[in-house]
């Protein structure tokens, strides 16, 4: 009798006629497993800060990926001119998630502002540059001595310029940094009120195409230029499961970008007012893919090196340990 039952169970398990049912059950189990962590019903609001350079977020916004992922939440999108402004909003409780370049979180952490690094995008040194006007006589970094250089304080361009000055054998005190937002810097650059401009895409691409700006140096060999996704600690503590979903949807957006590059350029242009050609240049300079992932030891080490450099020059009030602000998923 026992042998008969064993044989009967075995025949059910491996009977080809039951393959369809088993496939359906397996699929349901997988969906159930995914849903158990992917959708956090306790998330009632998600406030996201982004910039014109935030391509993956722009596509996630356009395709309502987070509205689908968190159906119980009110999703709000807030555009900022640069990373420092995003982290200021994060610190005062106006945002839950934001994306910036490499320098803003170092400045924020040094100012004791609360934040967690939750993910990074691959290094993209070619998407930032030090530009000079098309008729400028400057053609070497060493010629920046004594020159007025526009940049956003505490932005990724700040580190790029710092490294460029160092490479040229100059001191930071040898140049005249002019602290301006990207829009104001562009106006000053066009008027000839500054000698150079340290900036990132898409402003970089726009100045190249529309102002015929010349590249004195890109980030290649100077700055890795990571993008970081950052979160308010209170949000992470209240909704730790949601962080995985947020990262997952960034990567869904990037997959779409990689296979729809022309459509992405049009979408970015429509949402930002940039010309499609400008968006296309920016997109083509990004790594393929540009997915988001938790910070690894190499990225943390690179970011610590950046922080140490600013600390050495006393450009931040005190030294920091980047890894203390890295979310580990625990």
- Mention every residue, 6+ apart, whose C-beta is less than 8 A from residue 55: 257, 264, 268, 282, 283, 286, 290
Task: Say what the pLDDT of residue 7 is.
Answer: 38
Domains of the chain (ranges plus CATH)?
45-124+226-272+289-325 (3.40.190.10), 126-218 (3.40.190.10)
Residue 293, number of CB atoms within 10 A of its CB = 14
| pTM for the full predicted model | 0.86
Let me know: does 149 contact 176? Beta carbons within 8 Å: yes
pLDDT band at 32 (very low <50, low <70, confident <90, very high): very low
DSSP per residue over 104-158, as a string? HHHHHHHTT---EEEEEE---GGGEEEEE-TT----SGGGGTT-EEEE-TTSHHH
Task: Say what the pLDDT of residue 17 is.
Answer: 41
Q: Where are the beta strands (DSSP E) in 4-44?
A: none
Q: Which helix (H) or strand (E) holds 196?
A: strand 196-200
Residue 137, number of CB atoms within 10 A of its CB = 8
User: CA-to-CA distance for 326 and 303, rounded, in angstroms?
Assistant: 11
Task: From 34, 25, 83, 15, select the one nearest 54 (Cα to Cα).
Answer: 83
Task: From 203, 194, 91, select the one nearest 156 (Cα to Cα).
Answer: 203
Q: Does 29 have pLDDT greater than 60?
A: no
pLDDT band at 40 (very low <50, low <70, confident <90, very high): confident
């Amino acid at each position: 009798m026992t042998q008969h039952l064993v044989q009967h169970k075995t025949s059910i398990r491996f009977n080809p006629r039951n393959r369809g049912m088993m496939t359906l059950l397996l699929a349901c189990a997988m969906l159930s497993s995914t849903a158990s962590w992917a959708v956090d019903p306790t998330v009632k609001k998600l406030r996201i800060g982004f910039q014109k350079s935030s391509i993956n977020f722009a596509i996630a916004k356009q395709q309502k990926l987070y509205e689908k992922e968190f159906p119980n939440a009110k999703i709000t999108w807030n555009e900022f001119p640069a990373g420092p402004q995003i982290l200021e909003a994060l610190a005062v409780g106006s945002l839950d998630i934001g994306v910036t370049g490499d320098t803003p979180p170092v400045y924020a952490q040094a100012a004791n502002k609360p934040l967690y690094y939750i993910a990074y995008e691959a290094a993209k040194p070619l998407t930032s540059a030090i530009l000079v006007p098309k008729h400028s006589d400057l053609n070497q970094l060493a010629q920046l001595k004594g020159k007025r250089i526009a940049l956003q304080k505490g932005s990724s361009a700040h580190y790029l310029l710092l490294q460029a000055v160092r490479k040229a054998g100059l001191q930071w005190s040898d140049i005249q940094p002019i602290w301006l937002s990207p829009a104001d810097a562009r106006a000053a650059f066009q008027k000839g009120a500054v000698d150079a401009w340290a900036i990132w895409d898409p402003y970089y691409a726009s100045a190249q195409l529309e102002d015929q700006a010349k590249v004195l140096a890109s980030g290649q060999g100077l700055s890795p230029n990571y993008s970081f996704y950052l979160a308010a600690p209170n949000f992470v503590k209240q909704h730790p499961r949601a962080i995985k979903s947020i990262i997952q949807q960034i990567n869904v957006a990037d997959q779409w970008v990689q296979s729809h590059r022309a459509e992405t350029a049009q979408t970015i242009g429509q949402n930002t007012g940039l010309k499609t050609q400008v968006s296309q240049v920016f997109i083509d300079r990004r790594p393929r893919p540009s997915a988001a992932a938790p910070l690894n030891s190499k990225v943390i080490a690179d970011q610590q090196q950046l922080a140490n450099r600013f600390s050495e020059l006393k450009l931040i009030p005190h030294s920091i340990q980047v890894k203390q602000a890295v979310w580990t998923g625990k």
